Structure formats: C-alpha cells, structure tokens
Structure 1
Amino acid sequence: MAEATALLADIAGVGADGRRGGYSRHGFDPAELELREWFTAAARRCGLAVETDRNGNLWAWWGRPGPDAVVTGSHLDSVPGGGAFDGPLGVVSALAAVDSLRADGFAPVRPLAVVVFAEEEGGRFGVPCLGSRLLAGTIDPDAARRLTDQAGTTLAEAVAGAGLDPARLGRDDEALGRIGRFVELHVEQGRGLADLDAPVAVASSILAHGRWRFRFGGEGNHAGATPIDDRRDPMLPAAQLVLAARRAAAGVPGARATVGRVLPNPGGTNVIASTVDVWLDARAADTARTRAVVEEIAVAARAAAAEEGCEVAVTEESYGDTVFFDASLRDRLVRGLGGVPVLATGAGHDAGILAARVPTAMLFVRNPTGVSHAPAEHAEPADCAAGVAALAAVLGELAG
C-alpha cells in the first residue's frame, strides 16, 4: 500500500534548486512536466484513469467521471526555492488515501477523483491558483494567455509547448459541474497545530489577499559619473515602499504585507536603474482592511517617487476576498474526525478559489517548524500518516 512519505521520496530529486535550496518547480517548466508524468504513472498504479482538462489540470478518476463527484488533491508546482511539502503532500496523501480505501475493500458510490491543479503558486506567470481560476472562470482567458514569465514566454506558448490548445483556456463548466465536494489536504503554513500539539486540523477560512506590482520609473545613468543631486533613481522610492509595507501592516491587527521580489532594469552594479519593479503581497481579515493597507503603501510610494523625481504605476495582478469554507462540510469533517481543531489560514489555496462554486473544505497537517515557502518546511512521517488516515476517512464517508 502506498505511503505519503514514500511517494514524496519518489519525487525528491525533481526540481531541486542548488542555488536557492529547496525546490523550484513552476507551471509547465521541465520539472513540473516531469512531475505530471510521475503523477500519471502513480495514479494509474492506484487503478485510476487519468485525463487532462482544457486548462492543464490533471484528473485521476476512481469510477466513471460524473456529477456529484468527491474530489481531492492539490498542486505539484512550488514557489522559487520552496519546501518539499507545500502542494505535493496533498497530492501524495490523496493517492495514498485512495490506495488505503482500495485495500480496505471500499467501493465508492459516488465518483471519486484526485486532481492536480496547474500553476497554483504563480511562481512562473505571477497569478496564483491559475489552473483553478481558469477552471472556475475567475480570470479572463485572454488576459491569462498574455501572462509572461521572466524569460518573456507567454502562458499561451507554455501550454502549447505542453501539448495543450491555448485557445481552449477558460471556464470549464463540464469539469466544474462534476465536482460535488472538494477536500484539499495541505501542510499547515504556520504553527497553529504545533502549538496545539495536534497532528491534523480542519480549515475555517482564508484571509483576503492579493498581489500588486509597483513600477518606478526614473533615469538610468552612470553610477560613478552622476552626482547625487542630479539623480532620478527609482531604487530609492522602491526601498521606501518596502519600509512602508511593514509600517502599514503593523498598523492593522492580523494584516500582512510583504515585498519578496524586486527587479531593477537594467540591473548592473555600476548602473543607476531606469525602472524598478516591486511586487507587493498584502493580506488581511477582509477586503476593506486589505485595500486600506495597500492604499497606505501606495500613498507612501507615490510621495517617495515624487520626492526623487520619479513616476510610479500600480497594477493589481490578482485579488481574492476572504474565503469562508462551507460550514456544513467543515462541521461534518470535524465531527467525523473526532473533534479535531479548526484553524484559519493566511495562505491562499485552490480550495479557496473553488469555494465560491462548490462546497469545499481543507485539512491541515502539522508543520513542526511553522516555516513554509522555504526549505525548512516539514512534516513528520507520523503526522503525514495521520493526514492520510483522516483524508481516507473523509473520502470514505463522502463517497460512500
């Protein structure tokens, strides 16, 4: 019978990042395509029939695909230099749970599927949960096709290279209509379970969150030949934005604001940049507070740009309102699992995208480090096994 940790070991060498540490596996890049092949083979060994939908999401079916299916799964891509568990733990746990149910002689009454969503982290094309957003119709397919990675490759080109038709990207009512309930297992991205000394929890909600790009424009020039008083250096207001993000988030209880990526152009050591792009991730308990944090940061950025004689343009690249998971399904999982804890999360997930369309729930597995999106992310084998057992119990009840 398949075990989650053994399945994780199968893919431990795929996409390992020697420079950053951890893993860099991005939508439709060679590492992610290799993981897709691995998943297809692993799912077939579990007796599942695998298909790819119009948006590049993989579906492995136990039983004939049809309406009112019980669906579980997660994603296989990562952030740059991410951990081994974020995404893959949900996929391997789903396969292990199916294998466990088969070994116990379970026969689903409703169709059951394991799904792998494409480009959940947005590590290549900048928009998180891209596969589930396209599926659910929450992103314009033309805008999605125009998304580009750092090398200038468009999403349309990437999916075509993977053998898909970019013209067919977009809302998929047929696939969406098959989902009766969706349950995603995920390693916890925080210390809630470690502090509670519990291996598994059920999710209650996801913070409102979004991504914004600030482009500061100045005057490129020589670092040695240009006097300080003659400069229009966009790196200065970019630096002020980073500081403003910390101040703004600190002023709103529970808010987060993070700058994790800065891209100067042309990027030479002895060159004053002509433009600097800064990406902001902001999250809070609701839309009003999230947007208030972003507006405070934007006001500070505009003031800093004006002081340096620069311009700034702000682009919202993605946004999702607060998600409250289906209360009836949440409570059913809590009861069925013997009263496990219920936790909110600040991290976005494909389950959060689908929650507006179908009854959706999440299970969390303890992360003793509390670290995620970094190589120190971890889950103990015993807790992984507890997560598989919990997911198998949930799937068995919902599909039985």
Structure 2
Amino acid sequence: MPEVTRLLADIADVGRDAVRGGWSRPVLSTAELDLRAWFVGEAERRGLDVETDRNGILWAWWNPAGLPLRDAVVTGSHLDSVPGGGEFDGPLGVASALAAVDLLQQRGSSLARPLAVAVFPEEEGSRFGVACLGSRLLTGAIDPDRARGLRDPEGVTLAEAAAAQGFDPSSFGRDDEALARIGCFLELHVEQGRGLVDLGQPVAIGSSILGHGRWRLTFAGQGNHAGTTLMDDRRDPMVAAARAVVAVRDAARARPDARATVGRLRPVPGGTNVIASRVELWLDARHPDDAVTTALVAEIEQLARQIAAEEGCTASLVEESFSVTTVFDEGLRGRIEAVLPNAPLLGTGAGHDAGVLGTVVPTAMLFVRSPDGISHSPEESVEDADAEAGAVALADALESLLT
C-alpha cells in the first residue's frame, strides 16, 4: 500500500460521525487529540524531534546535522475538521509531509537547512468560530485575550478547554521565537474545487487565496407560544432569518465572483412548539477584491436590518474573523515552479494557515486533485495515485529548498 494511503488508513476511523456522516474532529476533542498522538508517534518513528509550542502547534524537526534552528523549511497542515467533513481536508497535508520525509530520507538528501513538519490547531474554526486560530495566535493576528474568551456551542471557553488538556492558555499569543525559526512554509492540501479536474492534472502550485471572513448575524424578536400566538401578533426572528438567508444569496449573485453562505443557524430556545426569541446565523463571504467583500457584507447588514424591521425584530452584525486576499510569495513560488514545471498555477477560494503565515514569512501551497471537486463533505475524495503524486511533488519541492 502506498505510504500516504497507508497513513490515512491508520486514522480512517478516528472521529467518524455516525449522525452527520463523514468525520467530526473539532479541536481539543478526543478525536483531534488522538490524531495529535498519532502524528507524534509517526514523527518519532522517523527520528523527528517533536515539541509543542505555547499556542498548541506541533513541530516535528528533522535536523540530522544539528544546524541552528533558523531559516527552516516548514511544511504541514491541520488535523481538525468541519462537522461531518471529509477524510482529506487537513490530514492529507500532514500525511503527505510525513511521506515526503520518508522519500527525502530514502534519497539520502543532505540538508543545508532544518526541516519541520507543523500541525496547526483549529484551522477550520469549527469549535471556537475563528478559522486558522493556531496560526493567528502564532503571528499575532488575533488578540490572545479575545482568543482565550472564545466559546464553543456548549459555552466552554478556549481557555477552559485548553487548560483541561494540560495547555497553559496564559501563554497564548504572538511567538517571535517560533517565527524566527521559519524561513519559508509550504503547505500541501487537497484542492477544494474542480480546477485540477478541468485541467487534467494531479498537482497544482497555489497562486492566491481569496479574501474571506465570518460574521455572526443576530435577529431578536419576541419568544412566545406557537399555538396561542396569532400570526399577525408575532415578532418571529426565524422568519427574519429565513428571509435574510435568501437575501444573502441574491446579494452575492449580483456581484461577479462573490460567494456568500449561511451554513449555520441557531434558534434560541430551539423548541418545536416555541416561537424563537433570538436566532443567530453565521455568514461566510468571499471575493478576490477585499473592497467588494466589505461592500457585500455592508449591503447584507443593511438588508438584514430592513427585513428585521418589517418583521418587528432587530438585527445586529458582528465580525468574527477576516482575512485579506493573499498572493503567495513570488520568489518561493518561482523556485517551486522550476522543480515542478508541469504543475499549473491555481488560486483557491478556501482559507489556509499558509495565508495567515504569509503575512510574516514567505509561503506557498501545493494542491492535490479531488476527482469530483467536493470538499467539506463526506463525499470528499482523493485517488491513491494522486495522493502519492502529491507526496512526490512535495518531496521534490522541499528538497530543492533544503539543499
């Protein structure tokens, strides 16, 4: 069995979700912690030195020459998932990094720079609501006090969840010592779209990441009895929220290349025979031009307030995270293009830790074909041959940067 396929098979049952289908591996859950332990074991089997930094990021170092830990080449990805997500989003990059180390060791590659495989926590933001939280903390892109106070759907703060697993949340925040070790970062990820399918290629080099953000939109009305409250007497925030979902779609459709999604909605108190008193929904908005994203969200907020007023409710919008459009480092990308001349350039609409790290260090990405272009779904897939081609491409790129 090819190495990437074997590695992924070893963790295929971790976090399987019998209710949603697919995999649910939220940060600091039993599933994610089990995956972290799996990674540590696999890294140590390869002779890598593993450490956990003060933001919960795992680092596995290959440095046989005992070089100073600076100007390192770093690769890796994440192990957490969206609720009911796919098997490859995150773990493919981690497994491919381990397989690339195998290939480099088999080749007897000499290292002029240290190599590290990194695993970033809470990339998806599925538990605490902020995507790429580990890399945001590392780079100082999020205030650590705000991060510590983030709450999951059960009301548990990040600080509480981290402390329960032996982490020290008081140490969260920008880590200049860790950043100083990174010379460049190359992340491999499953492609989350049909670009490679349409191009007929197994691997692409990333060119850019679409600007994107998350906002929480809250409609407040009057909770009441579903059976005794006449229709004309209602101030129902669920109706306002439903209308807003359609308005979000229509506003995005009116702007070429815009994407806007409501993927999560929470009524309070949530009873079948209860008119909700409050409904929260989460908006994801994206566009290549950050000014267009900002304008789109402003329009959605205005529409939400108008809809709320018509339904006798109120509406408020709060930004939870925003990442500007990222163009990957041209010099680093050019070096990878020289090693992988047949790999096309491809932009992505999905966010990644490489985008956050790209604000402070040179970063690049490789994408591996998904035959149906489906992601964030149990139907996400990667063919074995493409997974192995991705690992070889990653090893080739890393070797060119290390020697």
State the percentage of identical aligned residues. 64
User: In the alignment, what sits opposite 2:5?
Assistant: 5
1:86–1:372 contact (8 Å) kept in structure 2: yes
Cα deviations across residues 45-90 of structure 1 (Å, max 9, x unaligned)?
A: 1110100000000000001561100000000000000000000000
CA distance in 2, matches of 1:332, 1:102: 21
User: In the alignment, what sits opposite 2:42?
Assistant: 42
Give yes or no for the alignment of 1:337 onto 2:340: yes
Write the mapping of 1:161-310 to structure 2, written as runs, cut at 5 A: 161-310=164-313
Write the mapping of 1:59-74 to structure 2, written as runs, cut at 5 A: 59-63=59-63, 64=66, 66-74=69-77
Amino acid at match of 1:37: A
Amino acid at match of 1:211: R
Give yes or no for the alignment of 1:53 onto 2:56: no
2:2–2:388 contact (8 Å) kept in structure 1: no
CA distance in 2, matches of 1:162, 1:91: 22
1:49–1:62 contact (8 Å) kept in structure 2: yes
CA distance in 2, matches of 1:244, 1:308: 15
Q: In structure 1, the residue corresponding to 2:77 is in which secondary structure?
A: strand
CA distance in 1, matches of 2:255, 2:335: 33
Against the structure 1 CA distance between its residues 46 and 34, is the aligned structure 2 distance closer, same or farther, given a 3 Å change threshold? Answer: same
User: In the alignment, what sits opposite 1:27?
Assistant: 27
Following superposition, the deviation at residue 32 of structure 1 comes to 0.4
CA distance in 1, matches of 2:289, 2:321: 15
User: In the alignment, what sits opposite 2:399?
Assistant: 396
Following superposition, the deviation at residue 149 of structure 1 comes to 0.3
Following superposition, the deviation at residue 339 of structure 1 comes to 3.3
CA distance in 2, matches of 1:341, 1:234: 47
User: In the alignment, what sits opposite 1:316?
Assistant: 319
Q: In structure 2, the residue corresponding to 1:119 is in which secondary structure?
A: coil
Q: In structure 2, the residue corresponding to 1:28 is in which secondary structure?
A: coil
CA distance in 2, matches of 1:190, 1:378: 11
2:77–2:353 contact (8 Å) kept in structure 1: yes
Amino acid at match of 1:263: R
Match of 1:93 among 93, 96, 103: 96
Following superposition, the deviation at residue 293 of structure 1 comes to 1.2
Q: In structure 2, the residue corresponding to 1:301 is in which secondary structure?
A: helix
User: In the alignment, what sits opposite 2:389?
Assistant: 386
Q: In structure 2, the residue corresponding to 1:4 is in which secondary structure?
A: helix
1:7–1:92 contact (8 Å) kept in structure 2: yes
Write the mapping of 1:363-382 to structure 2, written as runs, cut at 5 A: 363-382=366-385
CA distance in 2, matches of 1:131, 1:343: 25
What is the TM-score normalised by the length of structure 2?
0.98
Write the mapping of 1:353-364 to structure 2, written as runs, cut at 5 A: 353-364=356-367
Moved more, 1-10 or 160-169: 1-10
Q: In structure 2, the residue corresponding to 1:283 is in which secondary structure?
A: strand
Following superposition, the deviation at residue 362 of structure 1 comes to 0.1
User: In the alignment, what sits opposite 1:17?
Assistant: 17
CA distance in 1, matches of 2:302, 2:402: 51
1:69–1:110 contact (8 Å) kept in structure 2: yes
- Tell me the matched-pair count: 400
CA distance in 2, matches of 1:335, 1:289: 34
Match of 1:108 among 107, 111, 135: 111
CA distance in 2, matches of 1:111, 1:162: 30
User: In the alignment, what sits opposite 1:117?
Assistant: 120
Following superposition, the deviation at residue 2 of structure 1 comes to 7.2
What is the TM-score normalised by the length of structure 1?
0.99
Amino acid at match of 1:104: R
Against the structure 1 CA distance between its residues 197 and 2, is the aligned structure 2 distance closer, same or farther, given a 3 Å change threshold? Answer: closer
Moved more, 174-183 or 286-295: 286-295
1:242–1:259 contact (8 Å) kept in structure 2: yes
Amino acid at match of 2:190: V
Q: In structure 1, the residue corresponding to 2:320 is in which secondary structure?
A: strand
Unpaired segments of 5 or more residues in structure 1?
none
CA distance in 2, matches of 1:200, 1:393: 13
Unpaired segments of 5 or more residues in structure 2?
none
